[in-house]
Amino acid sequence: MPKKWLKIDPHVHSKGVSLCSRVTCEQIIDEKIKLGYDGIVLTNHCQPWYYTPDRHSEFIEQIIAEFQQGKGYADQRNFRFYLGIEVSLTEPHYADWLLYGVTEEFLRKSPCLYKLTQKELFDYCQQWGVLMVQAHPYRQSPCEPKYMHGVEINCSNEDLDKVTLVEEFAKKNNLLITCGTDYHFVEKTFHGGIYVPRDCETAADIARWICENGKIKVFFGEKEKNYPKNC
């Protein structure tokens, strides 16, 4: 790719927030640099079993503090570090949602995100220009397509054999496709992500570029593919 492009992983979890992760932000950054990445989107979990609804504001501050700590180290390493979140919803059925274009204001003004329905979360994202992408849609099943912007090609072993299903669902429903590794552990070095322009300084820039650009270029394993965007 030309140098004007950044190679990023838009699905990454750090242990300061995500209980299932075993890596700090600093470890993530160091390892991703070794693997040839230019940046990540930090998409820590927001799940019903993490906190009660009355502690939502407190939890959001934890998400933001973890991001700010990581960004400080990333800036020292000349590595792009973007804010995101992965929200688990139980209505109308269980699904995980990656939100791209998130800002600190978006999070601080949000209702308890995991209490929302798919449509309610989609409507909130629409108000802020945030993209809502179903993570690893075939671990369960794809949700209602009219209340999402896209679906993810997930690079973990159990998901890569479902790429064709993801592509068919996206094409049928006029949705965008993203790609990420769902990074939790140093040992699991699944290769995948997306390319974004070097002038994308914030997560909001990435969301805006995806919607303005004619296609998204993703990579997974040894493959690179261009998918039309359908925001």
Q: What's the domain range around 184?
A: 5-228
Across the range 102-114, mean pLDDT stands at: 98
Q: Give tens-digit pLDDT for 73-84.
A: 999 999 999 999
Q: What is the pTM of this model?
A: 0.95
Residues paired with residue 9 on neighbouring β-strands, in sequence order: 40
Number of domains within the chain: 1
pLDDT confidence tier of residue 1, bands split at 50, 70 and 90: very low
* Distance, CA of 13 to CA of 96 (rounded, Å): 13
Query: Tell me, what CATH number does 132's domain have?
Result: 3.20.20.140
C-beta separation of 97 from 114 below 8 A? no
SS3 of residue 21 by DSSP: coil
pLDDT in tens, 12-63: 999 999 999 899 999 999 999 999 999 999 999 999 999 999 999 999 999 9
Bin 103: left if φ > 0, else alpha if -120 < ψ < 50, else beta. Answer: beta
